[in-house]
Chain A
Amino acid sequence: MNQPTYFANVQKVVAALLHGQAQTTPALRQAVEAQAARLGGATRSASDIPADLAAYVDKVAQHAYKITDQDVEQLKAAGYSEDTIFEVTLSAALGAGLARLERGLAALRGGE
């Protein structure tokens, strides 16, 4: 089957964000992506993320419009740098988006 080119471009996003060098470890970014993707019904291995990040990740994944200044200030007060919050937010948003792409494509291919 011919894969549309956009799958290649999405894979570039995944490769850079989840496997590239950044302030946080790839393992943390992958765990955040996995948590957000699982909430959207995607299949991912279980992974641990720090408890003080978990609520924020879930909020980005499930109802980002409810995020407040206080949510982000709490992370800063807990010692997370702005660059770490940036990377965690990107990873959570990517996981939520990928889950929807994967679920939609699975339905299209005849799977659940």
Chain B
Amino acid sequence: MRLKVLENGHRPLQKLILTLIKLGMGFRPGPILTMSYRRDLFGKHLAACVQEGMRQMKHWQKTDVEVMAAFVAQTNTCHYCLGDHRAIASVGLPEDVVKATLANWQTAPVGEPLRQTLGFLEKVTLRPTEVGPADVEPLRAAGLRDAAIEEALYVCFLFNVIGRLADAFDFEEPAEKSRRRLARVLYAQGYGIGSLPG
């Protein structure tokens, strides 16, 4: 981490929980360090958004939004978030499906609604100034309702924010074994621990 305050500026209860997380997971995840530090300013509120966008959606499956998160991360060249969400998506989907989807959204072995959504999120992420109503048409043609597209844009928002924090603050890349262990926890239990109390 490039800021020492994100390593050791937490409150006593947070430090205790972070120690326990390191014992259990093998590392202290950058998103938790960041969303816990001075949490009233930002992290507590963003963590609520993450839990909502990634686990309380009405129109997508958990695996769908995890694939979207990994895809947006990859589009932004954010290795940390790509690694995390590729691993989480792979808890619920065959790894070769996740890999093929991230390799080429146009030939992704997923349903047409998710495939078209990935194409839309790529443009929104990389070329937001060029996005217009015509870009939504393929999604509607695939049967998506506006509410489903809004949920996908919410995921896109989240990972355009978090990915920038991961890269700017230089989140520590965990060992693969630790990453997979954390992925299983996040897949099963969601993002409630994103911002630690204290």
Which of B98-106, B156-164, B174-182 is the contact stretch? B156-164
Q: Which residues of B contact A60 (CB under 8 A)?
A: 164, 168
A103 touches B164 (CB 8 A): no
Check B49–A40 contact: CB distance below 8 A: no
**A19-56 Cβ-contact flags toward B at 8 Å (1 or 0):** 01010000000000000000011100000000000000
Q: Give the distance to chain A from B89, nearest Cβ to Cβ, in Å.
A: 21
Task: State how many residues of chain B have any CB contact under 8 Å with chain A.
Answer: 53
Q: Is the CB of B154 within 8 A of A12?
A: no
A5 to chain B, nearest CB (A): 7
B188 close to chain A: CB less than 8 A: no
CB of B45 within 8 A of CB of A96, answer no
Comparing B14-22, B62-70, B108-116, B124-132, the segment that makes contact with chain A is B124-132
Closest Cβ of chain A to B4, distance in Å, is 6
Contact A82 B132 (CB under 8 A): no
Contact code string A72-89 (vs B, CB < 8 Å = 1, else 0)? 100000000011011101
Q: Determine which residue in B129, B149, B160 has the highest number of CB atoms from chain A within 10 A of its CB, and name it.
A: B160
CB pair B133–A93 under 8 Å, yes or no, is: no
Please list the residues of chain B having a beta carbon within 8 angstroms of any beta carbon in chain A: 2-6, 9, 37-38, 40-42, 44-46, 48-49, 52-53, 76-79, 120, 124-125, 128-129, 131-133, 135-136, 146-147, 149-151, 153-154, 156-158, 160-170
Asked if A104 contacts B167 (CB within 8 A), the reply is: no
Determine how close the nearest CB of chain A comes to the CB of B11; give it in whole angstroms: 15
Query: Is B133 in contact with A101, judged by CB distance below 8 angstroms?
Result: no
Closest to B125 in A: A100
B40 & A20 in contact (Cβ 8 Å cutoff): yes
Which of B2, B9, B156, B170 counts the most chain A CB atoms within 10 A? B2
Enumerate 25 A-B pairs (CB-CB under 8 Å) in ascending A order: A4-B150, A4-B154, A16-B40, A20-B41, A22-B38, A63-B77, A64-B167, A65-B77, A65-B78, A82-B9, A83-B5, A86-B37, A87-B41, A93-B161, A93-B165, A93-B168, A94-B42, A94-B161, A96-B161, A98-B157, A100-B125, A104-B156, A107-B136, A108-B133, A108-B150
A13-B42, A103-B129 given; A108·B158 CB < 8 A: no
Chain B residue nearest to A91 in the complex (CB): B42
B3 — which chain A residues lie within 8 A by C-beta?
72, 82, 85-86
Asked if B45 and A41 sit within 8 Å, CB to CB, the answer is: no
What residue in chain B is nearest A16 (Cβ atoms)?
A: B45
Given contacts A83-B5, A86-B3, A101-B154, 7 further A-B contacts (CB under 8 A): A20-B41, A67-B167, A72-B3, A100-B153, A103-B124, A107-B133, A107-B136
